[in-house]
A and B are shown apart, each in its own frame.
Chain A
Amino acid sequence: MKLNVDVTPRTDVPRWMRYGTPVFTILAALAVSAVALVALGVSPVEAYYVMFVQTLTTNFGLTNTVAKAVPLIFAGLAVYLPLKAQLWNIGAEGQLFLGAIAGTWIGLNVSLPMVALLPLMFVGGALAGAAWIAVPAWLRAKLGINEIITTLLFVFVATEIKNYLVRGPLQAPTANFPQSAQLPAAAQLPDIPVVGYPVGIVLAVVLVAVTYLLVNYTRLGYEITFIGANDTAAEHAGMSKFKIYMIVLMAGGAMAGVAGVSELSGVQGRLRASFEPGYGFTAIPIALLGRNGAFQVMLAALFFAVIFVGGSSIQTLLGVPSAIVDIMQALIILFLITSEFFKQYSIDLGIERAPDPGAPGQPEGEV
């Protein structure tokens, strides 16, 4: 008996595959994570019940999920948009820090009423995030230097700048802790009246819609997608790769900066040295899960928000280390990139029986 594995490139990805992959991926990741839960003597059924059902059916769980989803949506878009042009913004975390730093500075030093102060903080954060990616973006667009490495290097620099600032210029004068002063009430994002959800979600949904329209219905979006699909052909068609690369990366940086402001102003309330949410890295699986469109990015961000909130619930209630969330994230990426292969190639497994010497006329097995 011989196992034949035929790998042939697909010309077209079946519809069920394109939309089924994210769901399958998540289920597979949950199934494998269950092994880690069992290893620590925790019932996966109980853990997943707390993680998903309790999070999604209680007021507390839902509010927290929405609050977590806000920065994740922004960060997800920060990776998604450059990915449309086949560029990897691996450094969203660094741009997020710069956004948070700018937001903190403006919130503490500018006194304006809330309606003016909050927009100013968001604009400042967006500019800081865009500025932080400007050098890697220019190096990529002009010199062709791999943006993966440069955006990543800038994360570590940004982390230390944040750590320096909260121990120095931005440190609260009266405190010994490495943290800034508390933002004034006018600089803190309020909740939506009656519903109780953080107001940042409205901005996030608006930005998702804007990104969707930009990518699908504008000339710029067309150029971005075209360059992502075939940059040589796009340049022959007269499109400027330099311009598009700068735009998508800087826009990505700006959205990561906005993620930083939303988390700072909506959740944290002050900048701390310990502020290392990792949202910029979670944005990578979010953008991968949602690579079909901006609304899918939002769904993926909501899903990750649920496992973040659920992850801290199972830590409190069941004593499961919240690092289980990191494992789940890794597994989701693992299964996603594996399934990419199956989307691009069709695999045919054929089992051939060894030719029976007693049966004449048996066709020879292929060698």
Chain B
Amino acid sequence: MAGLAAGLANATVNASTVLILAGLGELISERAGVLNLGVEGMMLVGALSGFVVTWVTGSYWLGMGIAITAGGLMALLHAFLCISLNSDQAVSGIMLTLLGTGLTTYFGNDWSGRSIDGFPEVTIPVVGEYLVEIPILGSALFQSTATDYAALLLVPVVWLFLYRTNIGLELISVGEDPETADTMGVDVFKMRYLAVILGGMFAGAAGAHLSLAFNGIWSATMTAGRGWIAVALVIFARWRPGRILLGAYLFGLFNALQLYSQGLNLSLGPGAPLVGVVNPVLEFVLNPTIMSTYPYLVTLLVLVITVVRAENRELAQPSALVQSYSREAD
């Protein structure tokens, strides 16, 4: 059982890094009032560009840098369309996902089937070898790639940035009430551009983590819907960085349980009462395919609770989310 738990913990942590990175990026963008449905496309572009650069130059750090830049560039397009041209944020985002998927599938054809030595697993200096010995969670948390550590570290960094710096607070203010922020001298357009581009850079890094650390290969549409889960995750986290971590582990656990669910035999013994009712229900509920819908269903539930209990401003969504801002608007 301990082996199973450790395996589960390992799979959970592994699956969560990409969600933490992409989720934090989406969160930053949404806190400034811009929904980004292009995460999936930005992740794919990050994954391919990072992979190609690493393959050519041998440097996975350079690959990561290029992936972050590529994600930021795609986000720049989203920012231009949504902020400068007042385009529909949802449509622009879906366009970017289509574009990212199309471009990477089209140009990535020749790159699939190759593998690289990406980010190696490392332990923290000095204390690392002891931390790894912690039962169940030790190797999951403390024998990871640099990108895993970085993702964990970025959670408090993003929190500090948003809540403890002037830029961060200005960024939040343009997502809540752009008119007032503008009157107070905050450059709404600049702030939103900054947030969207930062968000895209996170998405690019999330994609590069997949191809450079998690898998070490490139294959078309390798993000497999994780970008969409990141969008759901931000709602689940109610737009708070700390909860992104919690949510990413929960969603990661669902993912890990899918891998292990064949090993979990929770059905009742043949003599137990109601066996004919309970076992089919358990079988359905624990079916790996059915389990993969849980993150979405939980997100929907959270979304409903958030809106129904809107008087609780502390946990509501940014007021100006999905609203474009223009000065001459009456």
- On A, residues with C-beta under 8 Å from B are 9, 36, 39-40, 88, 90, 139, 143-146, 148-150, 152-154, 156-157, 160-161, 163-164, 167-168, 281, 284, 288, 321, 323-331, 333-334, 337-338, 340-341, 344
Measured between beta carbons, the chain A residues less than 8 angstroms from B289 are 160, 163-164, 167
Interface contact A157-B307, CB-CB below 8 Å: no
Interface check B308, CB cutoff 8 A? yes
Identify A337's interface contact among B88, B225, B290, CB under 8 A. B88
Interface contact A153-B307, CB-CB below 8 Å: no
Cβ contacts B95-110/A at 8 Å (1 or 0 each): 1101101110111010
Known: A145-B307, A153-B296. A160 touches B92 (CB 8 A): no
Across the two chains, which residue of chain B brings its CB closest to A334? B95
Measured between beta carbons, the chain A residues less than 8 angstroms from B307 are 143-145
- On B, residues with C-beta under 8 Å from A are 35, 37, 81, 85-88, 90-92, 94-96, 98-99, 101-103, 105-107, 109, 220, 225, 228, 231-232, 235, 287, 289-290, 292-293, 296-297, 299-300, 303-304, 307-308, 322, 328
Across the two chains, which residue of chain B brings its CB closest to A340? B87
| B304, chain A: closest CB distance, angstroms | 7
Known: A90-B90, A156-B293. A337 touches B109 (CB 8 A): no
Measured between beta carbons, the chain A residues less than 8 angstroms from B98 are 281, 326, 329-330, 333
Q: Shortest 3 CB-CB distances between A and B: which pairs?
A: A326-B102, A330-B99, A323-B105
| B188, chain A: closest CB distance, angstroms | 16
Known: A150-B300, A337-B85. A281 touches B101 (CB 8 A): no
| 6 residue pairs A–B, Cβ–Cβ below 8 Å | A36-B103, A148-B35, A152-B37, A326-B99, A330-B95, A334-B99
Interface contact B322-A146, CB-CB below 8 Å: yes
Across the two chains, which residue of chain A brings its CB closest to B290? A164
Known: A284-B94, A334-B99. A341 touches B303 (CB 8 A): no
Identify A330's interface contact among B86, B96, B299, B308, CB under 8 A. B96
Interface contact B304-A143, CB-CB below 8 Å: yes
Interface contact B91-A153, CB-CB below 8 Å: no
| A87, chain B: closest CB distance, angstroms | 11
Complex Cα gap A338–B95 (Å): 12
| B252, chain A: closest CB distance, angstroms | 16
Measured between beta carbons, the chain A residues less than 8 angstroms from B231 are 149, 152
Across the two chains, which residue of chain B brings its CB closest to A287? B91
Known: A40-B106, A321-B106. 12 other contacts (CB 8 A): A90-B94, A145-B303, A149-B235, A152-B228, A156-B296, A157-B297, A160-B289, A323-B103, A323-B220, A324-B106, A329-B102, A338-B87
| A83, chain B: closest CB distance, angstroms | 10
Across the two chains, which residue of chain B brings its CB closest to A335? B95
| B146, chain A: closest CB distance, angstroms | 31
| A278, chain B: closest CB distance, angstroms | 9
| A133, chain B: closest CB distance, angstroms | 13
| A350, chain B: closest CB distance, angstroms | 19
Interface contact B293-A160, CB-CB below 8 Å: yes
Complex Cα gap A59–B107 (Å): 32
Measured between beta carbons, the chain B residues less than 8 angstroms from A324 are 102, 106
Interface contact B81-A338, CB-CB below 8 Å: yes
Across the two chains, which residue of chain B brings its CB closest to A148? B90
Measured between beta carbons, the chain A residues less than 8 angstroms from B304 are 139, 143, 145
Q: Which of B86, B109, B300 has the most CB of A within 10 A?
A: B300
Across the two chains, which residue of chain A brings its CB closest to B86? A341
Complex Cα gap A321–B103 (Å): 10
Measured between beta carbons, the chain A residues less than 8 angstroms from B235 are 149
| B295, chain A: closest CB distance, angstroms | 9
Across the two chains, which residue of chain B brings its CB closest to A164? B289
Across the two chains, which residue of chain A brings its CB closest to B100? A330
Complex Cα gap A98–B49 (Å): 36
Known: A161-B293, A326-B101, A334-B99. A153 touches B85 (CB 8 A): no
| B54, chain A: closest CB distance, angstroms | 21
Measured between beta carbons, the chain B residues less than 8 angstroms from A148 are 35, 37, 90, 322
Complex Cα gap A286–B307 (Å): 32
Interface contact A323-B106, CB-CB below 8 Å: yes
Measured between beta carbons, the chain B residues less than 8 angstroms from A334 are 81, 95, 99
| B218, chain A: closest CB distance, angstroms | 14
| A98, chain B: closest CB distance, angstroms | 14
| A22, chain B: closest CB distance, angstroms | 15
Interface contact B292-A331, CB-CB below 8 Å: no
Measured between beta carbons, the chain A residues less than 8 angstroms from B103 are 36, 323, 327
Measured between beta carbons, the chain B residues less than 8 angstroms from A323 are 101-103, 105-106, 220
| B210, chain A: closest CB distance, angstroms | 18
Interface contact B106-A36, CB-CB below 8 Å: yes
Q: Which of B95, B109, B232 has the most CB of A within 10 A?
A: B95
Measured between beta carbons, the chain B residues less than 8 angstroms from A340 are 85, 87
Known: A157-B293, A157-B296. A338 touches B85 (CB 8 A): yes
Interface contact B102-A143, CB-CB below 8 Å: no
Complex Cα gap A13–B85 (Å): 17
Complex Cα gap A328–B98 (Å): 9
Identify A327's interface contact among B91, B102, B296, CB under 8 A. B102
Measured between beta carbons, the chain B residues less than 8 angstroms from A156 are 225, 228, 293, 296
